[in-house]
Amino acid sequence: MSDQIDPPQDEWLSVADVAAELGMHPSTVRKWANDGLLPGVRIGRRQWRFRRSALRELESERASERASAPRGSTGTPSGWPDPLALTSETDLDGAA
């Protein structure tokens, strides 16, 4: 038997879990997943699952981009959508 501790399994998160962790609306999480901005796996027609490790990588990338942004900028890296901005009427009803 080994003295090493096995690394924990990578946890799968729902849309609601990701929305709560990122502080955004669940419809925005679905839109980002549909647009390929948030790596996830589609389960069925409307369900998504996301690996916690992928979410951590995304948060890490965004943090490093914010840190390298010029002073006085809005904090949203160029090319990244604003998670608080509604982009379409479907964002309001959650349809994907």
Residue-wise pLDDT for 60-79, tens only, equals: 887 888 787 666 555 555 55
* pLDDT score recorded for residue 32: 92
Residue 90 makes CB contacts below 8 A (sequence gap 6+) with 27, 31, 96
Max alpha carbon distance in the chain (Å)? 57
Q: What are the tens digits of pLDDT across the range 14-52?
A: 999 999 998 999 999 999 999 998 999 999 888 999 999
Distance of CA 55 to the CA centre of its chain: 6
Strand order in the sheet with 41-43: 12-13, 47-51, 41-43
In this structure, is the dihedral angle defined by the CA atoms of residues 24, 25, 26 and 28, taken in order, positive or negative? negative
Domain coordinates of the chain in residue numbers? 9-61
* pLDDT score recorded for residue 80: 60
CATH no. of 9-61 = 1.10.1660.10
Cβ(90)–Cβ(27) below 8 Å: yes
* pLDDT score recorded for residue 61: 84
Under the banding of pLDDT at 50, 70 and 90, the label for residue 59 is: confident
